[in-house]
Structures are given as structure tokens and as C-alpha cells.
Amino acid sequence: MVKKELIVSAIENGTVIDHIVSSEVFRVMRLLNLEKCEETVYMGSNLESQKLGKKGIIKVANRFFAPEEINKIALVSPNATIIEIRNFEVTKKTKVELPQTVKGIVKCMNPNCITNHEVIETNFTVVQNPDVKLKCHFCEKFTTKENMEFL
Amino acid sequence: MKNKNLISITDFSKEEQLHLLDVAEEFAKNPRQRILADKIVATLFFEPSTRTRLSFESAANQLGARIIGFSDASNSSVTKGETLKDTILMVSNYADLIVMRHPREGSARYASEVAKVPVINAGDGANQHPTQCLLDLYSIRKTQGRLDNLNIAFVGDLKYGRTVHSLTQALCNFNCTFHFVSPVELKMPSYVKQTVKDNKLEYHQYTELSDVIPFADIIYMTRVQRERFADPMEYERVKNSCILNKAMLAGCKENMKILHPLPRVNEIATDVDNTPYAYYFQQAHNGVFVRQALMSLILGAKE
């Protein structure tokens, strides 16, 4: 317990995003627009984790996220846990779930897709069978996980 | 179907597709009906496709509609740097329906979301060409009397041929058995085969066209392009495996018909043209009736 608090301080109110894939911490920061957040934000990467070996963690003071806002991080960290803290107590703990649609954050990998040639917000349906793929609403081509490029 | 867009064949349910084929049959009997005399159809061809454009324009003309548009993006303000969105918004003010062909995939779906009038996709890059699919369904039903339980052989470039992808998907509604004949390099993509499997239907793969001739009800031929092969030697080795000539037709089923989206190069020898099995020119003609049906239904002139 003591050791944990030394690594990343506890927050009084806010959200802890735990079990982030270590290498994706910065991307999660960006996806949630935390780079511009004016509240206290702690982030840690390559922390010891029994579940993942190494993990990343982000703590944001005084911020709570709607599911549709935070679920997009499942694309890069499918095992992430969202913990809401109120008055130093855990009040809610949920796992991220893959959203059904992903808008505006991923580039379509088809170079001939219209979204790569005009200013159009990208829009994908998330398909899981069994690997996660994104089906472009416009060109109907699939962008696979390895080829996902974030805008 | 009034005011609906047609971007992908899956935008229309099986019932809607069958209804459209019924209406197309009426037009085949009586093609000159001036039921769109007060309508303007815009044909926006951002890349040239004379065959498809003429078919749409002939269909619209026979219904009395007036036509505006362009046959090549170089004749439009695209060359001045206008975005697709602006072109579509502008044309929406001038026409009751937009028929559009564009070299980029997804352009038609996007246009349909921007336009204030219905949009028919006449081909968006390598993605969809739903009116081709509908005229193929029409031709199959017309020649076989049904769409169900047929043995359908697709031959040639099955990897890049968008028409064979959407037709396979559409025929999955009708309990058909699929026979895919192609050089190894140009095999049917796995997502199409997965659709067949998901519908609990069968498919078989071949490299020799002669293997499927005895049992096929429909042989759907496509062009094998030399440019598709990384190794030109490989093209030379396989180029004859997907060519059909008259002699090969001995022993085919009597009801068998040969379809081809055209243009043909050498994959169907000209000696096939005068056999009772050749249907590709009538197939193209059927496209006019199907497009008449589609435009009348979307514009509310038929129910």
C-alpha cells in the first residue's frame, strides 16, 4: 500500500485508468485529450503489474468520463479498468468495452478512401471476429489493428 | 423505396431487390413511359464510364426525364479545386436525383449524406456498383426463372472484381452454391468466402474453367488483366485457364447462360456469341430496365 502511494499519489476525487498497456499511455492521454486538461494528471508507465507484467496508469483529478467518451481507449488497451474515486474511496470500477462505432480518431487505411482526400470525419463500425477490425462507413474496407493510425 | 439512396446492394433488403426486379420486368415489356417527364436527373461522372452513363441516360430518357451533368471530371469545377461536398450541394439544387460515378471508394456514401436529393451509386472506385449487381440478378432470374438453388460459377479475376463480390453477397440470400474459378493469384478474398459460410452455403474453388462447365447454371465471366500479376511469366502460364470457347461448351447444361459485366477482351471467344448460352449482350440491355425501375421507384413514380 505504502509503496503504491509512493509511486503514484492517491487522488481525492477523479478517475484512475488502470491496466493500460504500457506503451499506449501517451496515446490514451491523447485520445482523452488529457494533454490539454487543466486538472492534476499523474501518469505512470512500466509499473509492475501481476496481470500484465508491466502496465501504465493515469490518474486525473476532478474528472469523470462518460462511457462513450472513455470506451475508445479499448482500441489500444482492451483490459483497461476505469476506477472512479470520490473522497479517496473507490465508488465505481468498470472495465472498458469496445465501442460499436469509432468516429474521427482513426485514419482509414485505404489510401483511395474518400476520407483521405477530403475533409471528412472518419467513421467506423467495430467488428470483432475474433480480432478487432474497423469497417469504414464510407469505403467499406477494413482497417486492422496493426494498421490503425490515430489522427 | 421513395427517396432512398442506393449506394451498396445491401442498402436494399431482399424483398426490395425482388420488387425492383418485378418493376424492371414491367419496363422490359413497355420501356417508353413518360412518367418522369417533370424530373431532372443529374449524371455526375467524375471518371469516364461511357457504358454505365449511357445506360442510365437511356433509361432516364425513355421515362421522359431531362438530364444534366458531366461525363468526365475535367469538364467540371473539380479541376478548379472544388470539393466533392460543394459539387454535390450545388447539384442538389438543380436536380431531383443524382447518379454518380467517382474514382474514390466511399465517395458515393459521403455524397448521399451531403446531398439533399437521393443518390444512386454508379460505381465508387473498387468498392460498389449496385446497379450492375441488380441487373445481374435480373438476368439470372430472367434466364433461369428463379434465383434460388442455382449453381453459380464465377470465373477470372475474383480478387479485384467488385461485381463478383457484391453479386456473391446478394446471391447468399437465395441459397445458391458457388463455384469460384480463378488463377491462384486472383482467388476470391476471404471476407467474401466468409459471407458464404456465414449464410451456411457452400463454395468450391477451382483453377480450370472446364471443371465447372458440366453442372453450372450460370457462368459469370470476368476479365483477367495482365497488370494484376507481379510475375509476367505467371500470367502467361495461367492466361488460358479462364478462357471460354465454343468447343468447351459441349456437355454443359441446357439452361446454362454465360454472363459478363463487359467490356470483354479475349476471355470469351467470339465463336461463343452465337450459341444459345451467350447472354452478355442481353444482360447489358437489361441494365436499362433495371435502372428505369430504380429511378421510378426512388422518384416515387412507381410504388
pLDDT digits (tens, 9 = 90+) for B60-117: 999 999 999 999 888 777 777 889 999 999 999 999 999 999 999 999 999 999 999 9
Nearest residue of B to residue A142, measured between CA atoms: B191
Q: Can you list the domains of chain B with their CATH numbers?
A: 31-128 (3.40.50.1370), 131-284 (3.40.50.1370)
Q: Indicate if the pLDDT at residue A19 is higher than 90.
A: yes
Active site residue B129: yes
pLDDT digits (tens, 9 = 90+) for A46-58: 988 887 789 999 9
- Distance to chain A for B110, nearest Cα, Å: 6
Segments forming the whole domain that contains residue A139: 101-150
CB-CB neighbors (< 8 A) of A108 in chain B: 106
Quick one: A60 and A87 in the same domain?
Answer: yes
Kindly compute the dihedral angle of the four CA atoms of residues B148, B152, B158, B164, in this order, to the nearest 10 degrees. Answer: -40
Question: Could you give the number of structural domains in chain A?
Answer: 2
Domain match, A16 and A89 both: yes
Percent of chain B with pLDDT over 70: 100
Give me chain B's average pLDDT, please: 94
Same domain? For A34 and A106 the reply is: no
A126 and A79 together in one domain:
no
How many other CB atoms sit within 10 Å of the CB of residue A124?
25
Told to judge if B51 belongs to the known catalytic residues of this protein, a careful annotator would answer: yes
Which of B29, B79, B80, B200 is flagged as catalytic?
B80
Buried residues in B139-161 as b, exposed as e (16+ CB within 10 A): bbbbbbeebeebbbbbbbbbbbb
Task: Using the predicted structure, report yes or no on whether residue A34 has a pLDDT greater than 50.
Answer: yes
pLDDT of residue A128: 85
Residue B100 CA to residue B127 CA, distance in Å, equals: 13
Q: What is the pTM of this model?
A: 0.89
Measure CA B49 to chain center. 13
Sheet of strand A142-144, all strands in order from the earlier edge strand to the far edge? A101-103, A123-128, A132-136, A142-144
**Active-site residue flag, B50:** no
Same domain (yes/no): A17, A49: yes
pLDDT exceeding 90 applies to what percent of chain B? Answer: 84
Q: How far is B160 from chain A (nearest CA, A)?
A: 13
**A2: pLDDT strictly greater than 70:** no
Size of interface A-B (CB pairs under 8 A): 51
Residues A28 and A68 in one domain: yes
pLDDT of residue A62: 94
Is the confidence at residue A61, as pLDDT, over 80? yes
For the ranges A30-44, A69-83, B215-229, B248-262, the one whose mean pLDDT is highest: B248-262
Our CA-based measurement puts residue A1 at a distance from the nearest CA of chain B, in whole angstroms, of 50
Tell me how crowded residue B293 is: count the other CB atoms within 10 A of its CB. Answer: 25
Show residues of chain B in contact with A115, CB under 8 Å.
106, 110
Q: Which residues of A fall within a CB distance of 8 Å from B103? A: 112
How far apart CA B84 and CA B73 sit, in angstroms, is: 11
Verify whether the Cβ–Cβ distance A112 to B103 is below 8 Å: yes
Average pLDDT over residues A134-145: 94
Poorest-pLDDT segment among A8-12, A90-94, B66-70: A8-12
Model pLDDT, residue B35: 97
